[in-house]
Amino acid sequence: MQPVKAKIFSGAPGKVFLLLCAMYFIEYVDRVNLSVAAPLIKGEFGLSNTKLGVALAAFGYCYTTFQIICGYLGDRIGPRRMLAISGIFWTCGTLLTGFTTGLAGLIVARLLVGTGEGGTIPVATRAMSNWVARERRGFAQGFTHSASRAAAALTPPLVVAMIPFIGWRGAFMVMGVISLLWVVVWYSYFRDDPRMHKGVTPEELARLPVYSDTARDEKGTRKTVPWLRLFQRMIPVTLVFFAHAWALWMYLSWLPSFFVSHFHIDLKHSALYTGAIFVAAVIGNTAGGSLTDWLYQKTGKLNESRRNVVILAFAGSIAFMSCVLFVHNQAIVTLSLALALFFLELSCGPIFATPMDVAPEHSGVATGFVSTAAGLGSVISPILFGYIVDKTGSYTLPFLVSMCVLGMGIVVSFWMRPDKPVRAAAQH
């Protein structure tokens, strides 16, 4: 098997890959910055924890709704146009957040961000199915998700540093402008078919998968989406990722507030702790993607190389997350949460490589099923966290709930079958 790891960052394919990494980074800043500013917004708008949870979860309503829709459109009209359209939506939502004056406006702004970011991961996966070699799919998915977790790590200290100079509203406006710049660069540089890109060399094309039109076969006949077969095959993967998303959104939405309220430290220090924890996620994503690819290349067993990394990830996360229930030392809790998140994020690479394994011609739709689980997690987990805290006063009880959900994810992972691809049929 020809090694391609060294080539993934070079040439035109490397620039495309880095553009996708930049998108993951920027959009995660745009979704995490609200949780960082949440203690200030909560006080300014006079919100309870439950109402703040509703605002934090508003992103997830549209994010969930548009996963499969945008994945389908990405397969049909191509990632170039679809990601540009998505970028415009989340840019507008981010800018609008800076002008909100109450809960209603905040919810509307977050709905726009969710609409734009809903489907970006499925569409990006469709782009990678043409621009990344099969044996590096796990690494590619892991590394792009590492970029998003790097945003989660850097956003807390960056937003807190900007607030004294431009306020929390100004921080959202700055990110809105950066998001718009990404849209312009993406649409100018990317091409759906690598063969149509002037910067791609014959050697690079030889390492890439054979390009498959997203809508028609070689005879020009329109392809049909095998919806039922895709649904049946992606349900186990979707449920596994729901467990991941549940725990992740607990981190993304409530971690700064957890440190402020549970340990009674100020926002600045809570941002530093939160950022430090998400550094572990950056490492975990790339490590998990590399591990699943290594197992596949070493054993040739695709199913085991995906599933076993997921089991390791969830089991390790449960073990270290349990420390929060019994330990009250701030430093130890921070380290335990970091290690729990590291293990949790090992699962991203194998989970998101699976839709490309199962349905290479419809990886946008297939990933849409999986990412819908992230949307559901982003809605339910933040609201339930806030509700549990309001009712019990405990900031540790939601962690126990997450551990139970991850346990169920381990059980369901045995039904994942990336080794059995689903092929599309032509419409006659």
Are 421 and 222 contacting, i.e. CB atoms less than 8 angstroms apart?
no
Give the model confidence (pLDDT) of 266-305 as tens digits: 666 666 677 778 788 888 988 998 899 899 888 888 888 9
Closest CA to 158 of 20, 28, 272, 40: 272
* 293 falls within a domain: yes
Which residue range(s) make up the domain with 376?
12-192+227-417
Which uninterrupted H or E stretch holds 223?
strand 223-224
d(CA 224, CA 213): 12
320 domain-assigned: yes
The position carrying tokens 């991203």 is 348
Beta bridge partners of 216: 222
Burial (CB < 10 A; 0-12, 13-18, 19+), residue 427, is exposed
pLDDT class of 58 with cuts at 50, 70, 90: confident
Does the residue 342 lie in any domain? Answer: yes
β-bridge mates for residue 223, sequence order:
426
Residue 222 lies in a domain: no
The reported pTM is: 0.74
Token duo for residue 122: 């499925």
Helix (H), strand (E) counts: the chain: 15, 2
| pLDDT tens track for 320-329 | 989 888 877 7
Q: How many domains does the chain have?
A: 1
The H or E element that residue 224 is part of is: strand 223-224
* Least confident segment among 59-68, 219-228, 291-300, 380-389: 219-228
217 lies in a domain? Answer: no
Residue 204 lies in a domain: no
Q: Does some domain include residue 273?
A: yes
Cβ–Cβ < 8 Å for 75, 362: yes
Residue 276: which CATH number?
1.20.1250.20
| Residue 208 is assigned to a structural domain of this protein | no
